[in-house]
Amino acid sequence: MAVTIDLTAWSATLGGVYLLFTGIGALRNPEAWRTLIKEVGASPALQILCGLLELLVGALILLANPWVPSDILSCVLRAAGGLMMIEALMITGFSDIYTQFLLRTFGHLYRGLSIMMIVVGLALLVLGQLRFA
C-alpha cells in the first residue's frame, strides 16, 4: 500500500511553528536578535554557514512545493523558498551591506516585524494543519 505525504502541509506547519516561536523570541529579547545579526556580519565563517543553511532550507521548501495555481498555499511556500534562496545569496555575497541594512531596519521596526512573524507563523500553522484534516 502506497503512503503519500503532503509536503506542503508539513512545510507550512513546521515553518509556521518556527516563525511563531521566532516572533515570540524577538518580542521577548530584541537585543538578542540585534547581537545575532551583528555577529553574522562580523564573522565570515558564520556568513558562509548561515548562507548555506538558508540556501538548503529554501531549496527544500521550493522543491517540496509544486507550482499549482489552484493551490495557493503551495505557490506561496514555493515563492518563499525562492526568496530564502535569494536572501542566502545576499548573506553570502554581500553580508556587510545586508547586515547593516538589517540592523538599521530591525532597530526601528523590531516590534512590528516580531508581531508580523507571529501572525504569519500562526496563519501557516493553521493552514498546514487544515490540510491534514
For the beta carbon of residue 87, count every other beta carbon within 10 angstroms: 16
pLDDT at 103: 81
pLDDT at 133: 80
Closest by Cα among 77, 80, 79, 95 to 39: 95
Which residue's entry shows cell 500553522? Answer: 125
Which residue's entry shows cell 523558498? Answer: 81
Residue 15 contacts residue 129 (beta carbons within 8 Å): no
Residue 121 contacts residue 16 (beta carbons within 8 Å): yes
Q: What angle do CA 27, 30, 50 make, to 5 degrees?
A: 110
pLDDT at 3: 62
Q: Read off the DSSP letter of residue 69.
A: T
Distances (CA, A) of 31 to 35, 39, 81, 103, 109: 6, 12, 27, 11, 13
pLDDT at 2: 67
Task: Tell me the domain boundaries of the chain.
Answer: 7-132
Q: What's the whole-model pTM score? A: 0.86
Q: Which three cell numbers stand for residue 78?
A: 514555493
Q: Identify the sign of the CA torsion 100, 39, 113, 52.
A: positive
Show pLDDT as tens, one digit a residue, over the chain (133 residues). Answer: 566 899 999 999 999 999 999 999 989 998 888 888 889 889 999 999 999 999 999 999 999 999 999 999 999 999 999 999 999 999 999 988 888 888 887 777 778 889 999 999 999 999 999 999 8
Q: Which three cell numbers stand for residue 111?
A: 516590534
pLDDT at 98: 87
